[in-house]
Structure 1
Amino acid sequence: MNIVDLRSDTVTQPTTAMRAAMLDAKVGDDVYGEDPTVNALQQRLAAELGFDAGLFVPSGTQSNLLALLAHCERGDEYLVGMDAHTYKFEGGGAAVLGSIQPQPIAQSDDGSLPLDSIASAIKPIDPHFARSRLLSLENTWHGRTLPLDYLRSAHDLARTHGLGMHLDGARLFNAAVACQVPAREITRHFDTVSICLSKGLGAPVGSVLVGSHALIDKARRWRKVCGGGWRQAGILAAAGLHALDHHVARLAEDHERAIRLADRLRGIGDIDVLCQHTNMVFIKLPVDHLRALDAHLGEAGIRISSGSLPTVRLVTHLDVDDDGIERTAVAFSRFFDKR
């Protein structure tokens, strides 16, 4: 029985064509800058998104960390959403490894940081305060796309106060497809952008940080310090190049399936469909049903991240087809029919 895994879009498996591209990749030693496939990936994403240079790294967490380390020095701070991945889910790396203070700001429902909250959080130049250096945004955030006019306004505000701009664009291409604009229309407002290849794009591993030559040079040094230098990484970079060629436009299919899944779940038992954005569906379930529901879905070959919270995120991706959506809806329906 094929498993329908809705826990995250990180669970995708490389396609047969992607594996063939990896097998045929030309490689070299990337620490020496000699891997031609890595170089091609870095140059391609930098050029397509409007930047000078790129850096291929093992993970999105490391990519974001390197960006923060490149922008900030000890005693500096970055302004970030209170529920942002860089602040909440990356082990406090900026503080632990860079002595960089986060200044969390409560996000609006659409994932944006209110401009007045940003302005009021920026510190005056005074030895009592950490030095405000960077504004970090996330797009998508819980599947939500940041409005394009908001990005422009946030950029203008940051520049007025001398702040750099970083984007955690782990799902950048989901945002671009949903907004029906080239990804460059989103990234043009930022100094650095982190792009994950191993989520909706379906590569097995890796992220790319893009920015100016100066910022990427600093990030490259910090990558080495963090143990992220790798050798014949072109085998992995080839998967990323294949994903950019074949898996960007098809993200719209994931979004459509998420819409269909949300529609099918509405009206089933005690399921409360809270919202659906891009490739994510958020539902609320009775807490006392979670353990039994998880077991029931497991028997049907459906995986979800139920945990112990009533809110559950369901994520569509490359390996979830129309049949998977239908199987999921039927499995939920059969469970609640028995309650």
Structure 2
Amino acid sequence: MFRNVTGRMTFPPGGGCPDMIDLRSDTVATPTEAMREAAAQAPVEHGEHGDDPAVAAVEATAADAVGMAAAVFVPSRTMANQIGAQVHTARGQSVLVERASHSYRRGSGGLAQHAGVQARAFDGGETGCPTAEQVAAEITAGGGHRPEVGLACVEIAHGANGGVVAPVDAFAAAVETAHEHDVPVHVDGTRVFSAATALGVDAATLLSPVDSVAVCLSTGLGAPMGAVLAGSESFVASARRVQEMYGGGMQQAGMVAAAGVCALENRHRVHEDHENARRLAEDLDALPGVTAAEPDTNIVLADTRDADVTAAAFLAGCEEEGVLGTADGEYTVRFCTHRDIGGADIAAVVSAAGEVV
């Protein structure tokens, strides 16, 4: 972003920050030319009437990708998660959520406001996924004195914990235990294709035990906006009614839905982001005073304590060198690779970090 002669903020044609390597999030990945072309050429029909071919296409493509019977296209993953919670639960129930998960820490209290449920937070440890024992204990705790658990929500991969992924068996065991107590399981699958890639399984296989999943089309995939909420035919029928209640119905939505179809194709290349993240972590770890563990997916956490540089100071220095990241604690820096970042960018980030420390 820069100022023109009038003093107004303007942006370069491709979007983003000019001459900056932006690793603040994988949500900053910009739409491809194919997405822009698809949006420009998309037929404009009425999404709420169910006759927009691009909306139908993104719903069908997403449902197939995650192994669900149906899906509904909505403006954001936050809305997708909120709709999922409301469909699965009754007012006055509680929802099991990990204490560092997006559904618990973000969304401006939407679980309480929209679904009328109470969040019951658990500690998912490094992976953010509850153990089978935790699930059983939380569901049965308190008897009649605590709200009945109506839903378990699991985030995969866990963004706040550095994109970590729980082992397939541990994830499946938690889901199975919830089902044994007649509690459905919803997955915040913002980075589900990254999780599946890291685990070496197909996303549909990974998600086969769960009841519903929300998939963000912009995070790492590059769509300008949008998400899908997928599940059974009856679940999605109910979700469409709640979507209308939230004001999430869209009329000429084909332009953004067409870009979403293209974005879903990018799920086949997320391994490139993982490779870049591993290279970045390895090279940062080689710098004096910097510690960076090998990431599961595309999020790198670097500790700068031994360099005696706070995360804020480290990032300020990196920004002067043309690199953007975020702080995840007093001495923890977070870098997130995505489809706009290549090998030359990784080398530049490491060079900038070296100058700072």
TM-score by length of 2: 0.89
SS in 2 for 1:193: strand
Structure 1 counterpart of 2:41, from 17, 20, 24: 24
Deviations 1:26-52 (A, max 9, x none): 231111212110011112222332222
Deviation at 1:275, TM superposition (A): 4.7
Q: How does 1:297-336 map to 2 (within 5 A)?
A: 297-306=318-327, 309-336=330-357
Deviation at 1:307, TM superposition (A): 7.0
Unmatched 5+ residue regions in structure 2?
1-17
SS in 2 for 1:277: coil
1:263 corresponding residue in structure 2 = 282
Is residue 274 of structure 2 the alignment partner of residue 251 of structure 1? no
Deviations 1:188-211 (A, max 9, x none): 111100011101111111110001
Structure 1 counterpart of 2:216, from 190, 196, 209: 196
Percent identity of paired positions between Structure 1 and Structure 2: 35
Structure 2 counterpart of 1:62, from 71, 79, 84: 79
Contact 2:243 2:249 survives alignment (8 Å): yes
Q: How does 1:287-302 map to 2 (within 5 A)?
A: 289-302=310-323
Deviation at 1:295, TM superposition (A): 3.0
Q: What amino acid sits opposite 1:147 in the alignment?
A: P
Unmatched 5+ residue regions in structure 1?
none
Greater Cα offset, 255-264 or 13-22: 13-22
2:117 corresponding residue in structure 1 = 100
Q: How does 1:1-339 map to 2 (within 5 A)?
A: 2-123=19-140, 127-141=144-158, 142-245=162-265, 247-286=266-305, 289-306=310-327, 309-336=330-357
**Cα gap change, 1:33/1:115 in structure 2, threshold over 3 Å: closer, same or farther?**
same
Contact 1:170 1:194 survives alignment (8 Å): yes
Q: What amino acid sits opposite 1:263 in the alignment?
A: E
Deviation at 1:268, TM superposition (A): 1.5
SS in 2 for 1:64: helix
SS in 2 for 1:20: helix
Contact 1:79 1:132 survives alignment (8 Å): yes
Contact 2:198 2:296 survives alignment (8 Å): no
User: RMSD in angstroms over aligned alpha carbons?
Assistant: 1.8
Greater Cα offset, 82-91 or 196-205: 82-91
**Cα gap change, 1:174/1:96 in structure 2, threshold over 3 Å: closer, same or farther?**
same
Deviations 1:252-302 (A, max 9, x none): 110000000011111323222245221011012247544443332222211
Q: What amino acid sits opposite 1:39 in the alignment?
A: A
Contact 2:43 2:52 survives alignment (8 Å): yes
Deviation at 1:5, TM superposition (A): 0.5
Q: What amino acid sits opposite 1:323 in the alignment?
A: A
Aligned residues: 335
SS in 1 for 2:300: strand
Deviations 1:143-184 (A, max 9, x none): 112211122212221111001011110001111111222110
Distance 1:12 1:190 in 2: 28
Distance 1:308 1:105 in 2: 21
Distance 1:239 1:206 in 2: 9
Distance 2:312 2:289 in 1: 15
